[in-house]
Structures are given as structure tokens and as C-alpha cells.
Structure 1
Amino acid sequence: MIFLLVTCLAALLSPSVHGVDWCYHKPECNFTTWPTIATQFCNGSKQSPINIVTASVQGNANLTSFNFTGFDDNSTFLNIVNSDGSVVANLNSSKVAVQGGDLPGLYNPTQVSIHWGNSSSSNGSEHTVDGKQYSMELQILSVHSKYNGNVSAALAANDSTGLAVFSFFIEGTQQNQTNIWVNLTSILQFISRPGAQIPILIPVTLNSLFEGVDRTKYYRYRGSLTTPTCNEVVIWTVFKQPINVNQNLINRFSTDLFLNADKTVQMTNNFRGVQPLNGRVVTSQVVNSTAPSSVATSTLSIITALLLSSLF
């Protein structure tokens, strides 16, 4: 069962999907051409990623906290793969689940993928916030539990709630790093060629990838997969607080991974450009505007003290 799941996911992420040859690095097949070479969905009106304009984000009181199950289980990661366009870690979806946060049911994470730019010279997150592009973006693809971990079944059903993606921005820093990102990036040299994969034997959990990140604050919108065939079946959750990763570790993605077997074409800029919002609404948690500000509270305290002192 696990082998079949991994095979299915690898096929989903391959740059040849359902007979569509696509890429990130060639003019004839990069993301600007996807609407014409993968016309069924890539030219749709609910495409991802998007630029999130914070001034236009609407409050939604239903966007509560999530319940993450199995995110501390270090046996969930199966292997890590050079998928010809990204680096993908496949998960045992039967061991992990997410619900809450106004999701229409329970979702099982099946894989982790990452998008980046070109080392420190250019950023490469897929989503942007007020035009800001982060160094990288980590995405957790999850499938509604009614599909029993079968991503292809969710796509075949054309179910607008079939998939959920939980997205984390990654910010490059100069801070020293001793967490799991050091160990994970050291593996990249062993999957440098397209199609290469190795089992993940180091103890790693989903929580360790974004340790310390506030997962109660996020943006929500409806969109699509960000690679062909760009099916519009995704509920997107984009967390506001980024993961901080040392820039030298981020650089390894561009220098250690390649798009061809003879290792002459580095894997860089593997992100899709932002797509039109087309009237869609991005929502987030409701900000409590009724609470008095600290300045107002201090002023009220001073006035109260002065009034009381005048009485004595």
C-alpha cells in the first residue's frame, strides 16, 4: 500500500503529467506557457499561487486553531526524492491528520514539497504577501480522508474540497542553525540527479520542520495545484509567520540539486508566478478591534487618578 502511494505521488509531481510536458526553466514549457499546454485547468479562474494583499483580507471567525495528529511521529517520513522539478518528501498518510480551522473534514498529509529561487541572488516562494516574495515556500499536500490517501481519486472526482495544502514561508537568516534543517539539507547531495531517492533514516517529524512557528494565524482561500494539471481542487492555508532557516542551508537547494543527469543544469527558480485573484476573497482570523489600546488604557488611568486625587 505504501509503495503504491509513493508511486502515485511521484507520478503526480513529475514534469510529465497526463501527457503534458512542462518545466520551469525553458521558454517553451515554463509556467507562462502552462495555460496553453495544459488547457483543461491551468487557464482556469481559480489558479494558485496568488499575491495576498493584506488590506483586502477579510475576517472569518470560523478560522480557528487546527488539530494536528501525528506531527510528532518520527516514523511518518518515507523517503526524499528529486522529482525533476522540486524536492519531495513522501509521508505515510495513515499516520498523520489535520482537522479544524474551518476545513470541511479531516485531511491526511501525503507529501512535503519545497519551492525556491536561486540561492541568495533571488527569492522563490510561490505565494507573496503585499508583493513580498520569501526565500522559499514549504507546502504540505493533504487529501480528504474520504479518499483514503489517494490523491488521484480526489483529482478524478474534481472535488473542490478534495485537497488541502498547508503552506509555510521560509525566510533566509544569518543565524546559526542546529535543528533538523541542517540534517535534511545535508541529504540533498545524495539525490542530486532527477529521479534519485533515498529513505529518510534520520529522526524527523513534521513539527520539527516549523518548530516555533505560530500555526494559529493564517490566510485562507480556494485555489489550485501550482503545477500542471493545475486542478482547482485545493483549500489553501498560508501561515503568516515564516520559518527561519540559515541562508547557507537554503543555498544548498540551488547548488546540490540538478534537472539533468549529467548535472549541468541546476534546479533553480522552481516556482509558479502569481495568478489573478479573479474576485476570490482571502480570509484570516478576526482581529479584535473592541479592546482598548495600551495608549488609551494608560490615558484613562491617568485621568482617573487625577479625578480621584481632586476629591481628597
Structure 2
Amino acid sequence: MKFLVTTVFVAWILISSAQCASNTWCYHLPTCNEAVWPAIVPLYCDGTRQSPIDIVPSDAKPDPELTQFTFHNFDSKSALESMENTGQTVKVNFKSGMTISGGGLSEPYDSLQFHLHWGNGASHAGSEHTVDGKRYPMELHIVSGKSHYNGNLTQTIADPTGLSVLGFFIEEMSNDEIEEPASWKMLTSYLGSILYKDDSVLMEPGISLDDLLDGVDRTNYYRYLGSLTSPDCNEAVVWTVFKEPIKVSKDLIDLFSTTVHISDSSSPFMINNYRNIQPMQPVMTN
């Protein structure tokens, strides 16, 4: 039963809790892009604690309670279960058993999935958060929910800290760095199997979240309270944005904007699937 509930939670967490919203919002058309999200979901998308934001490091206040995280099962090479094209992003679902704790969080959170936001190739940046106005090529979000809710959606989104999202910037490797890396080459090899909306593919054991985050210092980060960055824009997220980016080669970054489509073969490639900056929220740092 817990597995079933968690699976439902995973499906919901990206596309929102309201089916009407998930069927009408988009990034690419003026009739449904972010300019009209506040009209589609006025209760949340027009709220006062919205994400993403521009992080200004000089304004971030030190917080001694922001300790190191504990990442349970992030080293498992069989925990990444499936990849899917949602029509708005590429999402990777996790098997049960992955958790995060520490990091100033009030309790453990069950890690459910990650998804990505990008622009149009490495030359057109598409991260959601920015730092001093700088936008990175991509951003990866690991979504988790408070463990004690056991996937109860109503309770989770009613809690202003019910969700935890870990944000990682993705930056293009410099010419003197080793290309790829191998974990990201394996990850992007699945993109050809999810060309169109609702396509999904099971992932073979071989890469872990730790592999994908290799080289990133996960002890230094920013913290603020915000929202989901797509409808319903629920203001229930404890945001952790890591200072150090993931390094990925230009060719692999470009694959996201040149492989997957928004719907069918006649639809555009999925590009610029990021929300623009929202009003500033107080930011803490460790």
C-alpha cells in the first residue's frame, strides 16, 4: 500500500494536485504560459511566497542550524526506476527507500523523483533560480515529501514545509575538463526512448544519484521557503539551492532541447521550460 501511495505522490508532485491546472498550463503558448498561471491557479500562483527567486549571496544571512545533510540510498545504482516525458519536463522516478535528513530540516523526507529545467541548448540558459542575476544552462530538482505523511497529499501540501526540493545548477564544462561525465551520458541515453508526451522507459541499474551529483560540494547551500515552480505553485516547499554546480558537457546539455517534444512528432522540441524570477524571499546560508 505504501508503494502505491508513493507512486501516486510521485505522479502528482510535478503535474500538480489539480487536474484542471495540469491540463491547461504550459511554457510555450501565450494562452497557457506563466503569464496566465495566476489566472489558472490564483490561490497559489498569485501568492506571496513564490519560486524561483534570484539569490543575492551578499544578502544571505548565516544560519548555524543549516547543518550537513544525510543522503540515504543516494549511492544505490538501482534506485532510479523510470524516466518519462511529462509534456513539460523530463522526470526520473525513484524506487522507495531514498531519504534525506539533516540540513536544517525538521525531520526525514522521502525522496520521490527528480526533474529538470533548461533553456535552448547550452548557449541559451534555462535554470529557474539565478545567482546575482546569473542564469545557468540547466537546473535539477530532487523532490521529497515529509516521511511521516506517508504520501498523504492533502496533509503534505497543507504543511508550509511539507515538501523539500534540492536544487542543483548545471553548468557547461570548460574545454580543459574531461568531457561528459559518464553518468550523464548514460542518463541522456534514455532520452531517445521518451520522445513524446507520456512516453516512459524503465531504467537499468548502473547509475546513482551520487554519480549524477559527482564533484558537487553538498555541504554549502542556500535555504529559503518558497513554492513549487509550476502549477499549482503550492507554497509548501523548503528550498535548498546548492552553491556549486554540476558540470556536464555541452553536447549532453544540448540533447534535452533537441530530442524530446512537447507532445507528438509534429510538436516543437521542449525548450525554455523554466519559470521566470519571482519576488525576493529571505535567504539563509550555512
TM-score, normalised with respect to structure 2 = 0.93
- Which segments of 5 or more consecutive residues in structure 1 lack a partner in the other structure? 286-312
Q: Is the 8 A contact 1:15 1:84 kept in 2?
A: no
User: In the alignment, what sits opposite 1:131?
Assistant: 133
Residues 7, 148 of structure 1: alpha-carbon distance in 2 compared, 3 angstrom cutoff: closer
Secondary structure in 2 aligned to 1:19? helix
Residue pair 1:82, 1:194 contacting (<8 A) in 2 also? yes
Aligned partner letter, 2:11: A
Match of 1:92 in 2: 95
What's the counterpart of residue 110 of structure 1? Answer: 112
| Residue identity matched to 1:180 | S
Q: Does residue 14 of structure 1 match 2:20? A: no
CA-CA distance at 1:136 after TM superposition: 0.3
The CA deviation at 1:150 is 4.3
Contact 1:17 1:229 in 2 (8 A): yes
Cα distance change of structure 1 residues 151 and 253 upon mapping to structure 2, 3 Å threshold: farther
Match of 2:77 among 68, 74, 79: 74
Q: Offset of 1:202 from its aligned partner? A: 3.7
SS of corresponding position for 2:113 = strand
Answer yes or no: is the 8 Å Cα contact 2:181–2:248 preserved in 1.
no
SS at match of 1:140: strand
**Counterparts of 2:229 and 2:124, CA distance in 1:** 20
Q: Superposed, which structure 2 residues align to 1:263-278 within 5 Å?
A: 263-277=266-280
Counterpart pick for 1:220 among 223, 226, 230: 223
Instruction: Tell me which stretches of 4 or more aligned residues in structure 1 moved more than 2 Å.
Output: 1-18, 149-153
Q: Residue type of the partner of 2:163?
A: L
SS at match of 1:90: strand
Structure 1 residues 220 and 128, CA gap change in structure 2 (3 angstroms): same
| Secondary structure of residue in 1 paired with 2:34 | coil
Larger Rg: 1
1:40 paired residue number: 43
Matched, 1:259 2:262: yes
Secondary structure, aligned partner of 1:85: coil
Distance 2:285 2:20 in 1: 38
Task: From the superposition, tell whether residues 16 and 72 of structure 1 become closer, same or farther in structure 2 (CA, over 3 Å).
Answer: closer
Cα offsets for 1:232-265 (capped at 9, x unmatched): 0000000000000001000000011001212431
> For 1:285-300, what aligned pairs fall within 5 Å after superposition?
285=286
| Cα 1:244/1:265, change in 2 over 3 Å | same
Measured in 1, the distance between the counterparts of 2:271 and 2:222 equals 27
Aligned to 1:142: 144
Alignment partner, residue 50 of structure 1:
53
The 5-angstrom pairing of residues 279-290 of structure 1 reads: 280-285=281-286
2:84 counterpart letter in structure 1: V
The 3 A distance-change label for structure 1 pair 171 and 178 is closer
5+ residue gaps, structure 2: none
What root-mean-square deviation, in Å, do the aligned CA atoms of Structure 1 and Structure 2 show?
Answer: 1.6
Structure 1 pair 82–164 and aligned structure 2 pair: CA distance change class (3 A): same
**TM superposition shift of 1:112:** 0.5
Paired residue type of 2:63: N
From 171, 193, 197, the counterpart of 1:194: 197
Task: Give the SS at the match of 2:186.
Answer: helix
Q: Give the whole-Å Cα distance in 1 for the aligned partners of 2:5 and 2:221.
A: 33
Structure 1 residue 7: Cα displacement: 4.2
Amino acid across the alignment from 1:171: E
- 1:169 counterpart SS class: strand
Tell me the amino acid that sits aligned with residue 48 of structure 1. Answer: S
Counterpart residue identity of residue 162, structure 2: G
- Write the deviation string for residues 200-247 of structure 1: whole angstroms up to 9, x where unpaired: 114121111111110000000000000100000000000000000001
Which residue identity lines up with residue 46 of structure 1 in the other structure? R
Superposition pairs of residues 176-187 of structure 1, within 5 angstroms:
176-187=179-190
Helix, strand or coil at the partner of 2:240: strand
Cα distance between partner residues in 2 of 1:86 and 1:151: 21
* Counterpart residue number, 2:210: 207
Tell me the matched-pair count.
280
Deviation for aligned residue 1:121: 3.2
